[in-house]
Structure 1
């Protein structure tokens, strides 16, 4: 029987929404794994809109659900409509939209708050003992909501220049969680909490390696589902 997986998006575009390559990679690997996918996003305003050519904010206002619909080819629902009883797992691609729209990590770091709907969604899957997949920066959501959990955002140092966001690992540990160092083509499985994480674009790596790492995360989520 096909596994039913919810994918939660945070907009469209690396600097203010979901990272497009990560979202696409997750969807390709879910398709290859025979999963039935439904996509969701919160119906809220983005923190801001970034001009992806200039890399700076604009005066525009955009809606997270409306922008996420671009990635979902229009087939998306309000996160408020997600019923954990109808899904076997949930996956959150990364991108700065996670740290700006789904929580306030981009502004407040470890002292951030998580959007109420996002928090209740995570708690519902956790309570139902259904797996949660997170990649890139999105493991910080689990670190905030589930103290003591185990996640990876890659390495905890940038000695080789490939992990410019290595300080995120330290912030995660300050929250009382365990950070596990993993390479870009690997995923970490927190068996107790059924949380599967991979670093994706937290590592400066070729796109195919990021694609493969997301695939490992998806495979592990489907095994647990």
Structure 2
């Protein structure tokens, strides 16, 4: 039977929602593997709206579920209605929406909290022994719900290639084991069935990010 995978989105657009290329890569790799994907998002307002030309907040409000529907081509479901028993794994693409809409990491850093529906969903998947996969900044969610887990957000030394490397240090402060990982690879915490890859935490050619997400998807399906 085809593996069934839930994907949690956080809006549409890197600065205030889901990183679109990451979400698309996840969908392509799942499709190539013969898996069935279904997309979900919380039905709530975004933390704020960012003008992606200027990279600055702008006026107005947008709904996370409705914005995520742009990526899902309209085929999306309220996260509150996700039934874990219907799926074999869950994947969370990155983008600042993870840190702004699925959690308040962007405001509170390591003292952050996770949106209740997101936390319940991820915890329920873990309790059911089903794999969790996260890329880019999304592994911070795993750091919160899986104490002492192994994960990666790339490298722990800041450089032009790794501009967000300080995140690794914060995850270590939270008690996690951060594993430096190349953008084209993924790290697997076998014990906790957690798969992570750096994606756009790295300034790398987009095909390398695409390939790394492919490894994440492959390793996740192996665990499912």
Fold-level similarity (TM above 0.5): yes
Q: Structure 2: how far apart are the matches of 1:29 and 1:145?
A: 26
Residue in 2 that maps onto 1:214: 213
Deviation at 1:145, TM superposition (A): 1.2
Residue in 1 that maps onto 2:37: 37
Q: Deviations over 1:15-56 (max 9, x none)?
A: 000000000000000000100111000001100000000111
Q: How many residues end up aligned between the 2 structures?
A: 224
Q: Structure 1: how far apart are the matches of 2:111 and 2:163?
A: 21
Q: Is 1:184 aligned with 2:218?
A: no
Q: Structure 1: how far apart are the matches of 2:57 and 2:8?
A: 24
List aligned pairs for 1:30-179, cutoff 5 A.
Answer: 30-158=30-158, 160-179=159-178
SS in 2 for 1:6: strand
Deviation at 1:161, TM superposition (A): 2.1
SS in 1 for 2:170: helix
Residue in 2 that maps onto 1:202: 201
Deviation at 1:59, TM superposition (A): 1.2
Residue in 2 that maps onto 1:21: 21
Regions of 4+ moved over 6 Å:
none
RMSD: 0.5
Q: Structure 2: how far apart are the matches of 1:47 and 1:197?
A: 25
Q: Structure 1: how far apart are the matches of 2:179 and 2:103?
A: 22
Q: Structure 2: how far apart are the matches of 1:146 and 1:110?
A: 14
Unpaired runs of 5+ residues, structure 1, are none
Q: Structure 2: how far apart are the matches of 1:203 and 1:22?
A: 13
Q: Structure 2: how far apart are the matches of 1:69 and 1:154?
A: 29
Residue in 2 that maps onto 1:2: 2
Deviation at 1:66, TM superposition (A): 0.2
SS in 1 for 2:65: helix
- TM-score between both structures, scaled by the size of structure 1: 0.99
Q: Structure 2: how far apart are the matches of 1:73 and 1:119?
A: 25
- TM-score between both structures, scaled by the size of structure 2: 0.99
Deviation at 1:146, TM superposition (A): 1.1
Q: Structure 2: how far apart are the matches of 1:176 and 1:163?
A: 22
Q: Structure 2: how far apart are the matches of 1:150 and 1:62?
A: 34
